Amino acid sequence: MKEVINFIESNNERYIGELKEFLRIPSISTLKDHKKDMMKGAKFVADKLKNAGMKNVKIIKTKGHPLVYADWLQAKGKPTVLIYGHYDVQPVDPIELWDTPPFEPTIRNGKIYARGATDDKGQMYMHIKSVEAFMKTVGKLPLNVKFIIEGEEEIGSDNLEEFVGKNKKLLKCDSVLISDTALYGPGIPTITYGLRGLSYMEVEVTGPNRDLHSGTFGGAVANPINVLAEMIAKLMDKNGKIKIPGFYDDVMKLTKLERDNFKRLKFSERKFAKELGVRELKGEKGFTTLERIWARPTLDCNGIIGGFTDKGAKTVLPSKALAKISMRLVPNQDPKKIAKLFTKYINEIAPRSVRVKVSDLHGAYPIVTPLNDKAAKAGAAAMSKAFGKKTVFMREGGSIPIVTTFAQKLKASPVLMGLGLNTEDLHSPNEHFDLNHFRLGIISSAYFFDEFAK
Chain positions 193 to 212 lying near a second copy, rule: CB under 8 A, are: 196, 198, 200, 207-210, 212
Nearer to a second copy, 33 or 280 (CB): 280
Residue 316 binding a second copy, by CB under 8 A = yes
148 within 8 A of 82, measured Cβ to Cβ: yes
Cis peptide before 332 (omega within 30 of 0): yes
Q: Is there binding between residue 313 and a second copy (CB under 8 A)?
A: yes
- Is 352 a binding residue for a second copy by CB under 8 A? The answer is yes
Residues 409-438 that bind a second copy (CB under 8 A): 422
- Residue 237 sits in the site that holds a second copy (CB under 8 A): no
CB of 229 to a second copy, least distance (A): 4
Q: Give the span between the Cα atoms of 343 and 357, in whole angstroms.
A: 9
Shortest distance, position 315 Cβ to a second copy, whole Å: 6
Comparing CB distances to a second copy, the nearer of 26 and 306 is: 306
The residue within the footprint of a second copy, chosen from 305, 336, 428, 454 (CB under 8 A), is 305
Residue 108 Cβ vs a second copy, minimum distance, rounded to whole Å: 25
User: If binding is defined by CB under 8 A, does position 296 make contact with a second copy?
Assistant: yes
User: Among residues 440, 436, 446, 449, which one has the least CA distance to residue 391?
Assistant: 440
Interacting positions 50-69 with a second copy (CB under 8 A): none
Contacts of 424 (CB under 8 A, 6+ apart): 117, 118, 119, 182, 431, 432, 433, 434
Among positions 319-348, residues that touch a second copy (CB under 8 A) are 321-324, 326, 328
Instruction: Quote the least distance from Cβ 12 to a second copy, whole Å.
Output: 32
**Alpha-carbon torsion (62, 67, 71, 77), positive or negative:** negative
Spatial contact of 258 and 295, defined as CB atoms under 8 Å apart: yes
Q: How far is the CB of 281 from a second copy (least distance, A)?
A: 6
- Exposure string over 354-363, b if 16+ CB within 10 A, otherwise e: bebebebeeb
Cβ neighbours of residue 375 closer than 8 Å, sequence gap 6 or more:
81, 174, 175, 177, 369, 412, 413, 414, 415, 452
Smallest distance from a second copy to CB 420, Å: 13
Nearer to a second copy, 126 or 182 (CB): 182
Give per-residue burial for 302-322: e unless 16+ CB within 10 Å, then b: eeeebbeeeeeeeebbbbbbb
Q: Is 353 in the site for a second copy (CB under 8 A)?
A: yes
Pick the closer one to a second copy by CB: 68 or 228: 228
Query: Applying CB under 8 A, what is the total number of residues that bind a second copy?
Result: 81
368, 194 in Cβ contact below 8 A? yes
The CA distances from residue 19 to 12, 124, 178, 270, 440, in Å, are 11, 10, 18, 38, 15
Considering the complex, state which of residue 353 and residue 408 has its C-beta at the smaller distance from a second copy: 353
Residues 164-183 that bind a second copy (CB under 8 A): none
107 CB-side CA count, 13 A: 10
Residue from 55, 108, 168, 282 that binds a second copy (CB under 8 A)? 282
* Member of 233, 255, 260, 408 binding a second copy (CB under 8 A): 233
DSSP 8-state secondary structure symbol assigned to residue 234 = T
> Quick check: 289 binds a second copy (CB under 8 A)?
yes
CB of 311 to a second copy, least distance (A): 9
Choosing from 293, 392, 417, 419, the residue that interacts with a second copy (CB under 8 A) is 293
DSSP 391: P
Tell me, what DSSP letter sits at residue 280? S
The binder of a second copy chosen from 102, 306, 335, 418 (CB under 8 A):
306
Minimum distance from residue 224 beta carbon to a second copy (Å): 9
**395 in contact with a second copy (CB under 8 A):** no
In terms of Cα–Cα distance, which of 121, 147, 118, 111 is closest to 38? 121
Q: Does 252 bind a second copy (CB under 8 A)?
A: no
Indicate whether 96 belongs to the interface with a second copy (CB under 8 A): no
The residue from 48, 78, 127, 292 that contacts a second copy (CB under 8 A) is: 292
Contact between 214 and a second copy per CB under 8 A: yes
Euclidean distance between CA atoms 226 and 229, whole angstroms: 5
**329 bridge partner residues:** 197
Q: How far is the CB of 48 from a second copy (least distance, A)?
A: 32
Which of residues 31 and 221 has its CB atom nearest to a second copy in the complex? 221
If you ran DSSP here, which 8-state letter would residue 32 be given? Answer: G
Q: Pairing relation of β-strands 316-317 and 212-213?
A: antiparallel
Peptide bond preceding 120 in cis form (omega within 30 of 0): yes
Q: Select from 42, 225, 358, 421 the one that contacts a second copy (CB under 8 A).
A: 225
CB closer to a second copy out of 234 and 259: 234
